[in-house]
Amino acid sequence: MAQGLQCTAERELLEAVNRITTSSTMSPSDEEQNQPKAETSCQVREENQGNLQDISKASLKLNSSMTTKELQEYWRNEKRQCRQVKLLFEIPSTRIVEHHFSKYVMYKIIILETGSFDSNKSVIERRYSDFEKLHRNLLEEFSEEMEDVAFPKKTLTGNFTEEIINERKLAFEDYLRLLYSMKYIRRSKKFIDFLTRLELQEAYGCLRGGHYTKALEILSEVIGLQERLTRGNPVSIVPTLCAIVVCYEDLENPASAFEYGEKALSRLHVYTSHRYYIPLLETMTTLAYELGKDFLSLQEKLEEWKAKKDPKRVFTLKELVVREYVQ
């Protein structure tokens, strides 16, 4: 039966390669024309020999002893690697907020990942002044790239009429999509901060106040968006992963804390000088011991690092986390 599954898997791969090769002859989309080929998550070889080599290599990865579940997971991961990641920005609704003697419009932004097997989406809210600040910040760094990018202007009157709000809602959708289509802008810290910083500030505020359940709820939403926005820089989400570890620790859920700690540690294995590395390693050693896992290898890494470095005070993971996003 295992051999039959392997044959089926290999046949699926051959069919997938044929589909990819066929699709490569079609005209590319506008976004693909504007981006370097290196950005495409799954590149198609032009020569048939290259395709056969890819098939051979993929077939070698398959093990006849793999279970059906393992094979399904393997192909799910393969397909994820072969799709180009794109995000769509939609603003389906708005709401008017009255605060003291002023009022403003909040735009609900839904960020969708296209081509996903899961319904990956994030929902945030931003006001006009947030967009305005983003535009000013980006102009400081990308004035040439944004030369032809139009920003929805304010009007002297009628800012809260339904017609103006709907026009601006559509304009902001186009604005975000245009910014995301520019490689250097979508990878910039200023653009990523616009989409995540307000939520992270709220989450860390809850964490410092001891409201770990609420903090975890927000962080769990943000981490998915951060991962999609920072695929080229996986280390950048380490602080958020570590904040989730701290929340689970204080909620007495060591298993989940260890799970997210492993994700963070895997991103730091070649960045041992990172400020989070040693505090995270200490926490993971403690959690591994508590869960009956292999803590000796973690402890060895810790001792090895301490032997190479001058002894100095290192913050605990929680001390480090609570210092993030302090206004």
* Residues 162-184, mean pLDDT to the nearest whole number: 93
pLDDT at 231: 85
- Tokens 């050693």 identify what position? 285
Q: How far apart are CA 6 and CA 68, in angstroms?
A: 10
Name residues whose C-beta falls within 8 Å of residue 259's C-beta, 6 or more positions apart in sequence.
Answer: none
CATH of 87-187, one of 3.30.1520.10, 3.40.50.300, 3.30.70.100, 3.40.50.1980: 3.30.1520.10
Which amino acid is residue 307, in one-letter code? A
Domain 193-323, CATH: 1.25.40.10
pLDDT at 89: 94
- Confidence class of residue 101 from pLDDT cuts 50, 70 and 90? confident
Q: Are the C-beta atoms of 154 and 71 separated by less than 8 Å?
A: no
pLDDT at 306: 79
pLDDT at 140: 95
Question: Of the candidates 56, 61, 54, which has an alpha carbon nearest to the alpha carbon of residue 75?
Answer: 61
Equal fold, 87-187 vs 193-323: no
Q: How many helices and strands (H and E) does the chain possess?
A: 14, 3
Which H or E element spans position 88?
strand 86-99
What is the per-residue pLDDT across 225-244, written as a single tens digit (0 to 9) for each?
999 899 889 999 999 999 99
- Confidence class of residue 120 from pLDDT cuts 50, 70 and 90? confident
Domain positions in the chain: 87-187, 193-323
* Residues 1-12, mean pLDDT to the nearest whole number: 49
Bridge partners (DSSP) of residue 89 are 111
